[in-house]
Amino acid sequence: MPESGDLSVNGIRIRYYDWGGRSDPIVVLHATGFHGRVYRPIVEALTKIGHVWSYDQRGHGDSDTPDGLDNYNWALTREDLGGFITAKGWNGVRAFGHSAGATAIGSLAYERPELISRAVLAEPVIFESPDAPELGWRNPFVERTLRRRPIFDSVDSMFANFAGKPPYETWDRGMLRDYCEFGTRETGDGKRELKCPPKVEARLYETARDFDGLSRILAAKAPLLIMFGTRSDSLGATLSPRVARERKAGRVIDVPDAGHFLPMEKPALVSQLAIEFLK
């Protein structure tokens, strides 16, 4: 179990997790709608090569959830990452991110290159223009999220509900369990409620088109290992050839039989590739 604490970042309280390990810090940043404890197998593997830290993004997990949807967008996600690294007194950290977390890390590597030395980006959310076909997922995600069931009878019932449904049916069972257990809080009547309000998650999907992660990731000087799944539910795989062609430092890997939830589907492979690149 990681040790936890709170840190003030950009005027809000961020809950962080210290997973231990030796050597310089590695920061792990989660996808929209998740939390800082969902990547446990990968985090534990990374402790072999560094001191690993993760945190709950604003509006997620046990961090503050500021009122007003204007407090949630992709630029703020990136700024909170920079604020967390700065508040810890670090420079040149290694990082691992998934989905929007990967986009934030790659973008921060461009905007503030002194903060990121090298990073692994699993399925970053990227697109060529606000009207690009790669954003075709956005409206269905928003609508589905706003209709999402926010309360479950128990962690066990939530796990059972998700275990046989896409996209969760392909997840590592332990990671799905951690998502259910640490992504919910107990209500007054003993039920479990999602910690990330559906309206916050939907807002972040809605504002995806306003943030150009692709150009920032392409221009970042830090070495980046960028992984895409090859299944149709990948959000950036169609851009993999362009990213491989235009990135100057690092490599791009297309992972067979994996989709957008690549870290949950193949945690052992992702851990191995991340360790080889970050060590």
Whether 166 is covered by a domain: the verdict is no
Q: What is the pLDDT of residue 96?
A: 99
Residue 12 falls within a domain, yes or no?
yes
Evaluate whether residue 22 is within a structural domain. yes
Starting at the edge strand found earlier in the chain, the sheet holding 192-194 runs 151-152, 192-194, 184-186
Task: For residue 169, tell me if it sits in a domain.
Answer: no
* Alpha-carbon gap, residue 132 to 144, rounded angstroms: 21
> CATH number of the domain that 67 lies in?
3.40.50.1820
Cβ(94)–Cβ(118) below 8 Å: yes
Read off the pLDDT of residues 177-191 as tens digits, 9 standing for 90 and up. Answer: 999 999 999 999 999
Query: Which pLDDT score is estimated for 137?
Result: 60
Task: Give the relative orientation of helices 173-182 and 155-163 as an angle to the nearest 10 degrees.
Answer: 140
Is 156 contained in some domain? no
Ranges of the chain whose pLDDT falls below 70: 132-139
Neighbours of 47 (CB within 10 A): 15
For residue 236, what pLDDT is reported?
80
Position 138 scores a pLDDT of 58
pLDDT score of 256: 95
The answer to whether residue 154 sits within a structural domain is no
In a domain, 221, yes or no: yes
Note whether residue 145 is domain-resident: no
CB atoms within 10 A of CB 164: 8
pLDDT computed for residue 134 by the predictor = 61
Q: Which domain holds residue 22?
A: 3-134+210-278
* Number of domains comprising the chain: 1
